[in-house]
Each structure stands twice: as structure tokens, then as C-alpha cells.
Amino acid sequence: MSIVPISPLEYGRLRDAIRERFGIYFDDGKQFLLQSRLQSRLPKVRATTFEEYAQYLQASPDREREWDELACVLSNNETYFFRERAQLDVLASEVLDEALKSGGRLRVWSSACSTGEEPYTISMMLAETHRISPASLTINATDLSPRALEKAKTAFYRELSFRATPVEMVQRYFRPFEGGFFINDEIKRLVSFSRINLLDAAAVAAMGVHDAIFCRNVLIYFDKPTQKRVVEAFAKALRPGGYLFLGHAESIMRITDLYEPVVTPKAIYYRRK
């Protein structure tokens, strides 16, 4: 297949449309990356140039279906069980303690859950504590990518997803099947999946109020104004004092004053003021 060239004008138009829709930002050095990710989409909508493709995204009656495809093609879905474990330990101790003291319900949201490893890890870690019943626990899990969510709901995983998983957790919570593993129903049942674009502030607020939100390893793909917009929308979906967990490479210290940073020797997180 020959490579379709992309002009600076076409690149600017497409990356602005993508940033506006999904928040994902391709800076000046990422032209080749965007070009290679979109390349295979052009023939699918019978576009021969990136200009035609940009027009299709803007004006075709079928454009929403193509945007759904883009949500899958553009996102980096890299994730694994027990990733950045120290924050999960904070959830299973401090956050759970507080919830049990004040009414006994715990509501957690994994807001860019990709293929499901993060919310299922939350589910396993809370099950391990034997301190909260399924009826008192809500674990919401959302993502932008329909394909990632399909995989999450299937709950079948191969070796790479287990790179940080203790062996006894695999033995306890998974069953082997044809070179991979299905997660057990008791863990799966605790997680509710749905599709949410984090730029949609109304949809974020409609998720209801949580004790903790995980938004890890997604803000790095957004520019600063979009990061601010997303974390400020989260303030409506968190109780006062609620916890916000971001990825290691992500910081909102100079972006918003709605949260108090908490820095411990093992984990950094934020609490809603």
C-alpha cells in the first residue's frame, strides 16, 4: 500500500478536530505518528487524500461511526494488572477505612479503564480485604474506545497483562483457558462498564459521586487546558475529600487548585478540597 502524503494544512486540521473531540493532542513533532495511525482508515471511507478524510469526519452522515473507529485507532491502550500498586494499596486501606467509618459504602471509578485490568485489579484488591460486601461496593469503569471496552467485558487476558501480578492472585481469581486466563465471575460481577468521553463534562457529572477516581496514564495525551477541564469536571463526581489517582508521569499541581496533593514515600495522589 502506498503512503498517502499529509500536508501541514491537512495535519493541522485533523489534529485540531481530534483534540476538540477526544482531547488527544498531537504536537508538531507527531505528524508521522498521526499519519501512520490514520493511513489505514482512508480507504475504508473511500478517501484518497487526508483532505477528503477530514471532510468525511466533518460532514458525512456516517461520521459518528468513523469517529468511533478513530477512538480505537488513536488511543494507546497499554495497561496491566496491579500497575502502580502503591496507589491501589491506598485505596484498599485509607480510602476503604474512611468509607467504612462513614456509612459503609465505597464508590470507585476507573475513568480510562482501557481493556479492564485496572478496575479488575481494584475489584481483586477489595475482595482480598474481606472488609466490604459486594452490595456495598460500586466499581464503575469507563473508556473512550469501544474495542477496549469489548475486550474488558470479555475479561480474557494473556501473559503481558500479568507482568506485575502476584502468582497467588492468578491462582485465586483466574481460570486458565487456551493459553490465557478468564477472570472469575465473582470479580467480574463487581465492575460495571460503560463508554464515556472524559471531555463530556455532563456525562462525567452524571456518573454520580465517588469516593475515589482513577484517571491514570491518560492525561499525558492531553494538553494543559484539556487536563484542567477534565480534572475540574471530576470535582463534580467526587465527594469533598474524595481521592484522585493519576499516573506517575502526571501532575496537576500547577493546573488547578481544586485538589490538595498528598505525597507519601510510596504514592502521590490528590484529595478534592
Ligand X SMILES: C[S@@+](CC[C@H](N)C(=O)[O-])C[C@H]1O[C@@H](n2cnc3c(N)ncnc32)[C@H](O)[C@@H]1O
Q: Using an 8 Å Cβ cutoff, are 234 and 215 in contact?
A: yes
Question: How far apart are alpha carbons 259 and 242 in whole angstroms?
Answer: 9
Shortest distance, position 115 Cβ to ligand X, whole Å: 7
The reply to whether 257 belongs to the active site is no
Question: Does 197 interact with ligand X (rule: CB under 6 A)?
Answer: yes
Member of 38, 91, 141, 144 binding ligand X (CB under 6 A): 144
Nearer to ligand X (CB atom), residue 76 or residue 194: 76
Compose the 64-93 pattern: x for residues touching ligand X by CB under 6 A, - for all others: -----------xxxxx---x----------
Residue closest to 23 by CA, chosen among 33, 12, 15: 15
The single residue of 143, 211, 216, 272 carrying the catalytic annotation is 143
In whole angstroms, what is the distance from residue 7 CA to residue 9 CA? Answer: 5
* Helix, coil or strand: residue 147: helix
Q: Does 198 bind ligand X (CB under 6 A)?
A: yes
DSSP symbols for 19-70: HHHH-B---GGGHHHHHHHHHTHHHHTT-SSHHHHHHHHHH-TTHHHHHHHH
Question: Rule CB under 6 A: is residue 216 a binding residue for ligand X?
Answer: yes
- Grid coordinates of 74: 488513536
Cell of 31: 505528524
| CB-based contact 116:82 (threshold 8 Å) | no
For the bound state, the minimum distance from the C-beta of residue 19 to ligand X, rounded and expressed in Å, comes to 10
- Give the shortest CB-202-to-ligand X separation in angstroms: 14
Q: What mask of x and - would describe binding to ligand X in positions 112 to 141, judged by CB under 6 A?
A: x-x---x-----------------------
Which of 22, 25, 56, 109 is the binder for ligand X (CB under 6 A)? 22
163 is catalytic: no
Query: What are the residue numbers of the active site?
Result: 37, 143
Where do contacts with ligand X occur on this chain (CB under 6 A)?
A: 22-24, 75-79, 83, 112, 114, 118, 143-145, 148, 197-199, 216-218, 221, 247
